[in-house]
Chains A and B, each alone.
Chain A
Amino acid sequence: MAKVLMKGTVAIAEAAVRAGCRFFAGYPITPQNEIPEYLSWRLPEVGGAFVQGESEVASINMVYGAAANGTRAMTSSSSPGISLMTEGLSYLSGTKLPALVVNISRGGPGLGTIQPAQTDYLQATKAMGHGGFRVMVFAPSTLQEAVDLTYECFDYAERDRNPVLLLMDGSLGAIMEQVEFPPMKELTDEGTRKWNLAKHEGETRMPRMLTPVYPEVILENENKQRALLTKQWEENDVRVEEFMMEDAEYVVVAYGISARVSKEAILNLREQGHKVGLIRPITLFPFPKKTFQNLNYDQVKAFIDIELAIPAQMRDDIEVAVRGRAPVYEYGRSGGMLFDDESVYDAIHKIVTGGAE
């Protein structure tokens, strides 16, 4: 298929359709409105359903209903709306229903700003709701990657019977880039037939119940299964990009838009002879701990966490992975303020030349 020029939000919407998504419910919020707008006409074209929910609370619960039928379902929102979805996300995980939730994040807390930010990292990776469940969190840094990850997210969600989060800040949602779309997936109930409430062609099945209520003994077991699942993610599903890491003495850690800007800065620093590299987590959860474990700490002198967040939110994960073997610094902007490659250059340069306190 030929490449097409597309806006980030629209690219995600089309990728979802190609992945077999046939249900969307969502509530307007900037900067992600193009996703519901696009799907409001695109889904009916392919025999799917679009509902403009009366709130994010309603929307996530509509997704819950569609997912129970085994229909590939998604919603999208931005930070304040995602907060409203957290009970519903907990119910999805509790009832073991797959779904894709897209957060095109903006600055907070509160109503904050409609400008881009990466201040939802902790919410995304630690607790997307009450009850101690976790979700896989994917963070693309190009639109092609956003398309490819969206396409795969539904498979992960179905495999694990758990919601999946695609976290992308508002700037990536707003830019236009060339993307190539994967083909339309054939619709199949293979991944959900064992548990869904759908009618099965030519087969009578026993009545089924999908609920997040369990007797204590069973609930504890379910949670043990969830713990196991998290372990498996860490074993098998970690995605990470290493950029100029071979001889790196200073390691920038950044994801999404921050990684993109950092790459520019690193190229310039390299030109000045500074040995700087980048670790870019693509899965924010599971976090690429092993990448940090495998580093040569005789070579690595320091880490610099670069985020659109003050204070940096990924820092705790980096510190845990580094285990005190090298200092961790941070640089960021917040509240919808952005950095450019020059300010990132300066921030890294200061540390590289021993100027950081």
Chain B
Amino acid sequence: MAQKIYSRPKSLMPMPSGFCPGCLHPLATKLIADAIDELGQNNNAVHVLPVGCSALNLMYWRGDMLGAAHGRAPAAATGFKRSAPDRLVFAYQGDGDLAAIGLAEIMSAANRGENFTVFFANNSTYGMTGGQMAPTTLIGQKTSTTKYGRDAETTGFPMRMCEIISTLDAPYYVARFALNAPKGVNQAKKGIKKALQYQLEGKGFTFVELLTNCPTTWGMTPLQSLDYMETNTIPYFIPGVYKDKGEKA
């Protein structure tokens, strides 16, 4: 008898994706959906949407959703989770959303040790608004507001959010994974599940950064964008587990 070894997670609707071809947002979303399935949390999860391309998930996600203002997903998640401590609450934010306009909200939620999970899709640009420079844009990376490539002289350096957040005492789990190759995808899947598991155990703030792409505004084919990540993104944003309080002796 045929055995089903791969299927659509319950938290995703059966419909075609409206994300650009080759975009890694849908993959990141699917990994989260898989983890929620495996944890049996489909009816308990609350997905806090950001403003950015990944807000498109409101079309595809099956489960409770709350649309937050640009950068404020950690604040909205704080209000919700404090009012409903039994729910599995997670926010999914882009790098403009989280590391620029929402920097105060993410740092403060992390510092309070709020018991929810933030998934941070870092594609080193503002995808939704047409590919402007983000705080995470790499030095030399061309964007629509850095025509000749990002210049550290006038725009500073890319912000490493995992490193910054792991300097705080409260966060329980902080990790970064790259989604451009199967190895990173498999690690990400485990990390995502672990973060959510910690939340269910009431451990506090968990943060998973997922390195993604934006072939459309990077002006690349999907495959080129994955190579670009390998040679440019990953050496600067080094994948790894930056903090895991559950692992120490």
Query: Which residue of A62, A199, A207 contacts B75 across the interface (Cβ within 8 Å)?
Result: A62
Q: B170: CB under 8 A from chain A?
A: no
> Are A209 and B64 in contact, with the CB atoms below 8 A?
yes
| Cross-chain pair count, CB within 8 angstroms | 119
> Which chain A residues lie closer than 8 Å to B76 at the CB level?
61-62, 64-65, 68
Residue contact A213 to B78, C-beta cutoff 8 Å: no
**Chain B minimum-CB-distance residue to A62:** B79
A69 engages B58 (CB within 8 Å): no
Question: Given the interface contacts A197-B46, A211-B58, does A62 sit within 8 Å of B67 by beta carbon?
Answer: no
Q: Evaluate whether A211 and B66 lie within 8 angstroms (CB atoms) in the complex, with A54-B104, A58-B72, A65-B75 already known.
A: yes
Given contacts A54-B104, A91-B69, A199-B87, contact A61 B79 (CB under 8 A): yes
- Does A71 belong to the interface (CB within 8 Å)? yes
Establish whether residues A65 and B78, one from each chain, have CB atoms under 8 Å apart when the complex forms. Answer: yes
Cα(A68)–Cα(B80), bound, Å: 7
Q: Fill in one digit per residue for B44-55: 1 if any A CB lies within 8 Å of its CB, else 0.
A: 101011000001
A108 at the binding interface (Cβ < 8 Å): no
B118 within 8 A of A: no
A199 / chain B contacts, CB cutoff of 8 Å: 44, 84, 86-87
Contact A95 B83 (CB under 8 A): no
Q: Does A234 contact B (CB under 8 A)?
A: no
Does B43 interact with chain A (Cβ within 8 Å)? yes
Report A-chain residues with C-beta under 8 Å of the C-beta of B23: none
**B37 contacts A by Cβ under 8 Å:** no
Closest to A63 in B: B79
Contact of B64 among A23, A54, A66, A208 (CB under 8 A): A208
Instruction: Check if B26 is an interface residue, CB within 8 A of chain A.
Output: no
- Give residues of chain A (55-103) contacting chain B, Cβ–Cβ below 8 Å: 55, 57-59, 61-69, 71, 73, 87-88, 91, 95
| Per-position binary interface string of chain B over residues 77-107, scored 1 when its CB falls under 8 Å from any chain A CB and 0 otherwise | 1111111101100000000000000001101
Closest to A90 in B: B69
CB distance A55 to B83 under 8 Å? Answer: no
Check A22–B63 contact: CB distance below 8 A. no
Q: How far is the CB of B31 from chain A (nearest CB, A)?
A: 20
Instruction: Report the minimal beta-carbon distance from A101 to chain B, rounded to whole angstroms.
Output: 14
* Of A54, A67, A198, the contact of B79 (CB 8 Å cutoff): A67
Residues of A within 8 A of B80 (CB): 65-66, 68-69, 197
* Option from A68, A69, A88 in Cβ contact (under 8 Å) with B72: A88
Within 8 A of B (CB), among A235-254: none
* Nearest neighbor of B107 in chain A, beta-carbon distance: A54
**Is the C-beta of B128 less than 8 angstroms from some C-beta in chain A?**
no
The CA-CA distance from A64 to B105 in the complex, in Å, is 14
* Nearest-CB residue, chain A, relative to B112: A51
Report the nearest A residue to B82, measured CB to CB.
A49
Q: Are A51 and B79 in contact, CB atoms less than 8 angstroms apart?
A: yes
Query: What is the CB-to-nearest-CB distance from B112 to chain A, in angstroms, rounded to a whole number?
Result: 8
Q: Point out the residues of chain B lying under 8 angstroms from A62, CB to CB.
A: 75-76, 78-79, 82
Residues of chain B whose beta carbon lies under 8 Å from any beta carbon of chain A: 43-44, 46, 48-49, 55, 58, 62-69, 72, 75-84, 86-87, 104-105, 107-108, 112
A-B contact pairs, 17 of them (CB 8 A): A49-B82, A51-B79, A54-B107, A58-B108, A62-B76, A64-B68, A65-B77, A66-B82, A69-B80, A73-B79, A88-B69, A91-B68, A197-B64, A197-B80, A211-B58, A211-B65, A213-B58
